[in-house]
Amino acid sequence: MTADIKSSNSDKDLKVGVFICRCGGNISDMVDIDKLKDSIDLDVVEEFVNLCSINGRKIIRDKVINENLDRVIIAACSPMTHEKTFQDYIKPLNPYLMDMVNLREQCSWVHENIEEATEKAICLINASIGKVKQSQAVDPITCQSPESAIVIGGGISGISAALSLGKQGIKTYLIEKTPSIGGNMVKIGKVFSPVRLAEECGMCLINPVMNELIWNPNVTIMTNTKVLSAERRVGIFNILLERSPRYVDSDKCISCGNCSDVCPIEVLDSWNDNLSTKKAIYRPFSQSFPDAYTIDIENCKKCGNCIKKCSMNAIHLNSENELIPINVGAVIIATGHEIFDPKLRPEYGYEKYEDVITQSELGRIMGVNGPTKGKLKMQSSNRVPKRIVMIQCVGSRDEKPDGHKYCSKVCCMVALKNANIIKNKYPDTDVLICYTDMRTPGMYEKYYKHGQENGIRLMRGRPGEISKKGNSLIVNVENTLKKEFMEIETDMIVLSVAIEPSEGTKEIAKIFDIGLTEDMFIKEIHPKIKPVTTDVKGTYVCGTAQGPNDITDSIVQANAASAKIAELLHDGLEVEPFIGEIDFEKCNLCKDCIDSCRYKAISTKDDEIFIDPLSCSGCGKCLTVCKSNAINIQGNISEKIFATIDGMLKGKKDWEQRILVFLDHVGYTAADNIGVNRIEYPKSIYIIKVHSINRVMPKHIIYALKNGVNGVFIGEYPGDLMYDEVEKRIKNMKQKIKEYGFNPERLQFSTVYIPYFTGLARKFKEFDTKIKNL
């Protein structure tokens, strides 16, 4: 087999310098530095007690300049510790023309025999010399996104995110599909403060924020607007918006309301959860923004009464949709939530009995700007209920069809809040919360206790059905703590229904090609350490589009998302240049590569395949699916692997065993950890660091086996996006190896975890023994 090493003539002329670090004895105590130096057949071979110091820099820089070095090898500690340092020390040489040999974590710290460690060091440096000759000077790719962002959704999350972006000087479009920003928070009436143990007016809290937003010169608020399509190009999102008309010119309208008085049409007011009516020309709520009326065109019968009445000439019944293209550098998804449809649990009689309502409806009833102006009344009889039973977890923690497995997180607090408000105003009304578990973490626990002191009653049990006896409703529930079956008579029942992903969230995810969780919320790329970051570069999520969240958590996420965007837009982006490139001459536009890419980096643009450098990880998957060989990745990665294999096998004696271990960033760090903890493993283990495990091809493994390697060990972290891919490929590789006449057992695939370095060391030993016995 012919390896595709490009050993051009110029290779030989390249001037390579080797710098060996003693690391204050850490290396030189185990590696015979003189012997090592003698073994290297190059003009420039230097040693120093600690190369990373300022003096070390002087030595390196002087040699690079005075000796006109083309390539540099630093034989010292792990590249994980000091690669960036030495890339800087070799200036003016291109940073990618330097290679580090890990003499400390992967040699002197893992071996206990000077002779063996020295032999290994010689071999590692040899491999590096071969490899560094294959490297090319490449420049990091820098991208500059436009200093602008779009925030989709005008609820508390979107408002907070847009305001934060605007204040950081980023041009921001806040898009809201309804006629006003404000979202759910303006509807819920009162919000609770766990610290002050009191309920506060939600509108009064959000209003100043809305005002600040409206006056921020960097923020453009677009209501009645939705996203039609979006396309992503190197840090730029080309977005097409569609604005539907409000039929009232918001610049002219003075919100006098005269039009509404003469409008003959009455429709249910969804802002009041359909508990009251509004006119076809209406203002969503009194502090709505834009500060103008709007027409519900579906119900308007175009009588023209309002037009005649409007002294400002603001009404135009024949307005049309408008398409608006914008370009932005980043996206925040704040598309909010919907609530579980209580009709899906007929056992709770939501449709059957007027006095079975949801917490949201109760919120409107208790709101001073709501249908009853804040008076608590039964729907059926207009009197104050003597007892209210609240049922928790309706549609949450529920594995039945249409239910949600997750906990909606806010319902315990919402129930306590509404119960407290009732208790404050109507102390004689008995409020009983039937719960499965009360979940009030942190400070919220204090609010829970406050509620108990306020006379809220709690019963542990999940009611199974509701019926009617005379004028009362009956709740069937087991008091599970008393182990007693109860039939509780009540006037009113309030269902704490689940928070669920909104249709808008699902639509936006589709438009931007963003992944969803199994529950259909926007997925974070790593919920533990990369919250608010989605799987599409440059897009972030906040609020209930991400999952059930309360107001405070939503605002925290909004601010986090805006900080991530500031980071992205202000810093510019420097990406490693080892990414996919398309050869347009060869590409036949079969598009096979598009779906193969796990990083969603490939798309088509003007009838050409386009790889987004910001998203491409350089994993090389696309290379393997492209039948026309039209994709290449800079940096001679394949050649470097061949050269390294050559170097590592140099001088191998017949009786000697050598095993190549391929590890990516995570695996390599785990291997370094073995050294840091001074755990010994066989000298036969030779570790090669690769950018992505996916770049190790069958041809490399077969080349190694043909040239005398005894075993190949491939490690991958199971959390890696490419893990399944690699696992699948290993099977094929084993087959291939067999075809070439080698025992497939010589190839081993294994999981690696950074903290589980002891396991990795043990696997090295076991594999070494296994190979010996083959």
Site residues for ligand SF4 per CB under 6 A: 248, 253-259, 293, 309-310, 312, 314-315, 579-580, 596-597, 599, 601-602, 611, 616-622
Inter-residue contact 366 to 418 (CB < 8 Å): yes
d(CA 737, CA 745): 9
Q: What is the C-alpha separation between 335 and 329, in angstroms, rounded?
A: 19
Closest approach of Cβ 484 to another protein, in Å?
9
346 counts as binding another protein under rule CB under 8 A: no
> How many alpha carbons lie under 13 Å from residue 64 in its C-beta half-sphere?
24
String of contacts with another protein for each residue 446-465, x by CB under 8 A:
--------------xxxxxx
User: Which of another protein, ligand SF4, none lies near 461, with the C-beta cut-off 5 to 8 A by kind?
Assistant: another protein
Cα 375 from Cα 373, distance rounded (Å): 6
Q: Which amino acid is at 408?
A: S
Q: At 417, which helix (H) or strand (E)?
A: helix 411-425
Candidate list 67, 115, 347, 656; residue touching another protein; CB under 8 A: 347
Shortest Cβ 140–ligand SF4 spacing (Å)? 16
Contact pick of 436, 440, 596, 657 for another protein (by CB under 8 A): 436
Distance, in Å, from the CA atom of 275 to the CA atom of 277, rounded to the nearest integer, reads 7
Q: What binding mask, one character per residue, do residues 617-646 give for another protein by CB under 8 A, x or -? A: ------------------------------
Please report where in the chains the tokens 């067999």 appear, as a residue: 738
Q: Tell me the closest approach of the beta carbon of residue 266 to ligand SF4, in angstroms.
A: 17
Q: Whole-number minimum distance, CB 378 to another protein, in Å?
A: 24
**How many residues in the shown chain lie near another protein by CB under 8 A?**
22
The smaller minimum CB distance to another protein, of residues 218 and 436, is found at 436
Q: Which is nearer to ligand SF4, 138 or 560 (CB)?
A: 138
Q: Considering the complex, what minimum distance in angstroms separates the CB of residue 477 from another protein?
A: 5
**Residue among 138, 42, 60 nearest 100 (CA):** 60
Name the one residue in this structure whose structure tokens are 């010589």: 746
Which is it for strands 387-394 and 492-497: parallel, antiparallel or unpaired?
A: parallel
- The tokens describing 367, both together, are 């709101």
- CB closer to ligand SF4, 621 vs 683: 621
Question: Which listed option, ligand SF4, another protein, none, makes contact with residue 397 (CB within 5 to 8 Å by class)?
Answer: another protein
**Alpha-carbon dihedral 608, 613, 618, 624, rounded to 10 degrees:** -10
Nearest to 166 by CA among 223, 126, 215: 215
Q: Supply the minimum distance, in Å, between the C-beta of residue 470 and ligand SF4.
A: 26
Which residues, in sequence order, are bridge partners of residue 469? 472
What's the rounded Cα separation, in Å, for the pair 512 and 709?
Answer: 47
CB of 348 to another protein, least distance (A): 11
Helix 665-676 and helix 757-772, axial crossing angle in degrees, nearest 10: 90
Are the C-beta atoms of residues 290 and 250 closer than 8 Å to each other? yes
207 makes contact with another protein (CB under 8 A): no
Give 332 or 514: the residue with its C-beta nearer to ligand SF4. 514
Nearer Cβ to another protein, position 403 or 547?
A: 403
User: Whose Cβ is closer to ligand SF4: residue 602's or residue 641's?
Assistant: 602
Q: How far is the CB of 463 from another protein (least distance, A)?
A: 6
Contacts of 377 (CB under 8 A, 6+ apart): 365, 383, 384
369 interface partner picked from ligand SF4, another protein, none, CB below 5 to 8 A per type: none
CB-nearer residue toward another protein: 98 or 477: 477
- Which residue reads 């918006």 in tokens? 241
Query: For residue 63, what are its two tokens?
Result: 């040699």
**167 vs 309, beta carbon nearer ligand SF4:** 309
Nearer to another protein, 16 or 458 (CB): 458
Candidate list 194, 403, 580, 715; residue touching another protein; CB under 8 A:
403
Minimum distance from CB of 314 to ligand SF4 (Å)?
4
Burial (0-12, 13-18, 19+ Cβ within 10 Å), 245 = middle
The closest of 61, 88, 86, 62 to 75, measured between CA atoms, is: 86
Among 437, 583, 595, 766, binds another protein (CB under 8 A): 437
Decide which of another protein, ligand SF4, none touches 714; Cβ closer than 5 to 8 Å per partner kind.
Answer: none
Binding to another protein by residue 273, rule CB under 8 A?
no
Sign, CA torsion 521/522/526/530? negative
Place of tokens 């999520």: 541
- Quick check: bond before 92 cis, omega within 30? yes
689 neighbors 79 (Cβ within 8 angstroms) = yes
Judged by beta carbon, residue 340 or residue 599, the one nearer ligand SF4 is: 599
CA–centroid distance for 690 within its chain:
25
In the chain, what is the greatest distance between 2 CA atoms, to the nearest angstrom?
103
Q: Which of 83, 341, 354, 478 binds another protein (CB under 8 A)?
A: 478
Q: Which is nearer to another protein, 30 or 434 (CB)?
A: 434
Quote the DSSP letter at residue 107. I
Cβ-based nearer residue to another protein, 347 or 583:
347
Provide the minimum distance between the beta carbon of 251 and ligand SF4 in the complex, in angstroms, as a whole number. Answer: 11
Residue 599 interaction partner, one of another protein, ligand SF4, none, beta carbon < 5-8 Å per kind: ligand SF4
Select 390 or 477, whichever has its Cβ closest to another protein.
477
Q: Give CA 626 to chain center in angstroms.
A: 29
Among 175, 221, 477, 761, binds another protein (CB under 8 A): 477
Which of ligand SF4, another protein, none has residue 597 at its interface (CB below 5 to 8 Å by kind)? ligand SF4
Name which position in 187, 387, 397, 695 contacts another protein (CB under 8 A). 397
Write out the two tokens for 721. Answer: 């996006």
172 binds, among ligand SF4, another protein, none (CB under 5 to 8 A by kind): none
Three-state DSSP class for 371?
coil
Smaller CB separation from another protein, 53 or 480: 480
Task: Tell me if 476 contacts another protein by CB under 8 A.
Answer: yes
Question: Do residues 107 and 21 lie in contact, with contact meaning Cβ atoms separated by under 8 Å?
Answer: no
Cα–Cα distance for residue pair 696/710, rounded to 1 Å: 17
**Sites of contact with another protein (CB under 8 A):** 347, 393, 397-400, 403, 436-437, 460-465, 476-480, 483, 485
